[in-house]
Each structure stands twice: as C-alpha cells, then as structure tokens.
Amino acid sequence: MNASLRWRDPQIPSPQPQGARGGRRQPVLVPLWTRRYNGPGNDEDTATAIAVDSNGNVFVTGASAGTTVTADYATLAYSGSGVALWTNRYNGIGNNIDGSSAIAVDRQGNVFVTGGSYSGSIDTTSDFVTIKYSSSITLPRLDFQKVNNQLVLSWTNVGFNLQSAPIASGTFTNIPDATSPYTNSLTAPKQFFRLESP
C-alpha cells in the first residue's frame, strides 16, 4: 500500500476555491507588524531599499529630512519581530541633500548602504557615498528588581527611551527625563514598560 503524507504550514493560507468566473480568490494577508519612522526634521522621509539578514533582522534605508532643510541618509534596523534595534543617519560634508538608494547585508551581518551626497552647494554635482555598519547589534535590555515597595528599572542603552502604557496593547509614551535607574512605586496604578529607540 502506497501512502503519502502532505504537510501544510498553518501560517500559509490554504488554496482558495476558484470563483464563478474561473479566477482564483486571493488570500487575505494580515500585517504582522508595522513601524513608522519620522526623522528629526519632522518632514518628508522616504524608504528606498530593504534587506534581511540570516537572523531575520530587517534593514531599511532611504532619505530623511534632517534638522536643516535638506535630507540625510537614514538607515534603520529592526528585529524580525519589529523591535527597533538601531538608527544611523549620515549628513554629508556639504551639509546638503543626501539620500541612500541601495542596501546589502553580507554573511557576517554587516550592512552596506550607498547613494548620492552633495559635497557643496546644490549647484555642484553629487558624489556617491558608501557606508558599512558593523554587524554587532547591541540588543536593548531592560532589567528590573523589586526593592521594598518599589520597582527599579535599569538599562545600559543610553540611546533608548523608557516608555510606559497602562495596558500591554496600549499606546506607549516616553517617560519624561527617565534615566537609569528609574524607580516606580508598586502602589501606583499598574504600568507596562519598554525601551524604544528615538
């Protein structure tokens, strides 16, 4: 007796039956996570390229308005679950328009971005600039301990902001002037905490 076993990944939708006109119904795709980035210029930010490393980390690069009127390179790293890992910006020597257009990741996880950068006024021509970022990603770690009737939170990633929300699925907001160690009274209303990159 011949038998075959077919395995189907439960994350992949089953093929849909054909419609009345013979066409296939499209599977419904559900977003797993969404991240937005608003640069320091609080103006136009545009992603131009994306790459994924062998660990599932996601890297996005593009042009982002800086604190002056011009754009800079902006490259962001996220874990596979959407946690922000780092943000790197590049403002060229001309303090003018800079924008990355391509990204690649090597086998060691190093990230390479390249694009154009004006070295002088807008009347000059642009140069291409290529940047290599190290693969050593320091993941944010939030430690906590109970001391008397207080919760003491500590972290070493000074580039991250401590945020809180009343429920885990709620909107997290920065805690003003929070530095490590941060003390929260256990008699206060229940709070959820996390670290977030600026």
Could you tell me if 160 and 123 are in contact, meaning their C-beta atoms sit under 8 angstroms apart?
no
pLDDT band at 5 (very low <50, low <70, confident <90, very high): very low
Q: Which residues have a Cβ under 8 Å from the Cβ of 154 and sit 6 or more positions away?
A: 142, 143, 144, 180, 181, 182
157 touches 138 (CB < 8 A): yes
The closest of 114, 92, 88, 91 to 103, measured between CA atoms, is 114
* Predicted local confidence at residue 20, as pLDDT: 52
Quote the mean pLDDT of the chain: 81
0.75 surpassed by pTM: no
pLDDT digits (tens, 9 = 90+) for 145-155: 888 888 888 88
CA distances from 15 to 6, 8, 29, 30, 85 (A): 14, 11, 13, 16, 36
Q: What is the pLDDT of residues 105-131, one digit of tens each?
A: 998 889 999 998 887 766 667 888 999
Q: In the structure, what pLDDT confidence band is assigned to residue 160 with cuts at 50, 70 and 90?
A: confident
Q: Tell me how far apart the alpha carbons of residues 148 and 168 are, in angstroms, rounded to a whole number.
A: 25
Res 67 pLDDT > 90:
no
**pLDDT average, residue stretch 9-22:** 54
Mean pLDDT to the nearest integer, 9-23? 55
> 56 or 4: whose pLDDT is higher?
56
pLDDT of residue 131: 93
| Amino acid code (one letter) for 72 | D
Neighbours of 192 (CB within 10 A): 13
For the chain, what's the residue count?
198
- Give me the pLDDT at residue 165, please: 87
Q: What is the mean pLDDT of residues 92-104?
A: 88
The CATH number assigned to the domain with range 45-133 reads 2.40.10
List the domain boundaries for the chain. 45-133, 143-196
